[in-house]
Amino acid sequence: MIRDHGGNLDLAQERFGGRLEEWIDLSTGINRQAYPAPTLEPRHWKALPSPSDIAALHTAARQAYGCSASVLAVAGAQAAIQLLPHLAPAGRARILAPTYNEFAPVLTAAGWQVDEVGEIEALAAADIAVVVNPNNPDGRQHEPSGLLALRSRVKRLVIDESFADAVPQASLAAEAGRAGLLVLRSFGKFYGLAGLRLGFVLGSADDISALDAMAGPWPVSGVAIEIGRKALLDRDWADTTRARLEMDARRLDALAVSVGWRLIGGTPLFRLYDVGNALAMREQLARARIWSRIFTDKPNWLRLGLPGHETEWMRLSEALSVC
What is the binding site for its own copies (CB under 8 A)?
Answer: 1-3, 5, 7-10, 20, 25, 28, 30, 32, 34, 37, 42-52, 75-76, 78-79, 81-82, 86, 102, 106, 109-110, 188, 192-197, 209, 212-224, 227
We find the least distance from the C-beta atom of residue 213 to its own copies, in angstroms, to be 5
Q: What is the smallest separation between the CB atom of 82 and its own copies, expressed in angstroms?
A: 4
Q: Are the beta carbons of 293 and 27 closer than 8 angstroms?
A: yes
Q: Which residues contact 193 (CB under 8 A, 6 or more apart)?
A: 34, 35, 37, 187, 227, 231
Q: Which is nearer to its own copies, 70 or 171 (CB)?
A: 70
User: What is the nearest approach in angstroms of its own copies to the Cβ of residue 67?
Assistant: 20
Q: What's the CA angle centered on 314, arms 313 and 320, to 5 degrees?
A: 90
The answer to whether the CB of 301 falls within 8 A of the CB of 294 is: yes
Between residues 81 and 93, which has the closer beta carbon with respect to its own copies?
Answer: 81
Nearer to its own copies, 98 or 192 (CB): 192
The answer to whether residues 265 and 276 touch, using CB atoms and an 8 Å cutoff, is no
Closer residue to its own copies, CB minimum distance, 212 or 274:
212
Task: Identify which of residues 88 and 120 has a Cβ nearer to its own copies in the complex.
Answer: 88
Query: Helix or strand or coil: residue 43?
Result: helix
CA torsion through residues 291, 293, 296, 301, sign: negative
Question: What is the smallest separation between the CB atom of 47 and its own copies, expressed in angstroms?
Answer: 5
Nearest-angstrom CA–CA distance, 133 and 149:
15
- Give first-to-last CA distance, the chain, whole Å: 35
| DSSP H/E element including 200 | strand 199-203
- Residues 41 and 163: beta-carbon distance below 8 Å: no
Q: List the beta bridge partners of residue 94.
A: 115, 129
Nearer to its own copies, 175 or 234 (CB): 234
Considering the complex, what minimum distance in angstroms separates the CB of residue 105 from its own copies? 8
Contact in structure between 154 and 146 (CB atoms under 8 Å): no
CB 166 within 8 A of CB 246: yes
Q: Which is nearer to its own copies, 102 or 312 (CB)?
A: 102
Nearer residue to its own copies within complex by CB, 175 or 226:
226
- Least distance (Å) from its own copies to the CB of residue 249? 20
Nearest distance, CB of residue 188 and its own copies, angstroms: 8
Q: Which residues of 62-94 are buried (b: 16+ CB within 10 A; e: fewer)?
A: bebbebebbbbbbbbbbbbbbbbbebeeeebbb
CB of 160 to its own copies, least distance (A): 14
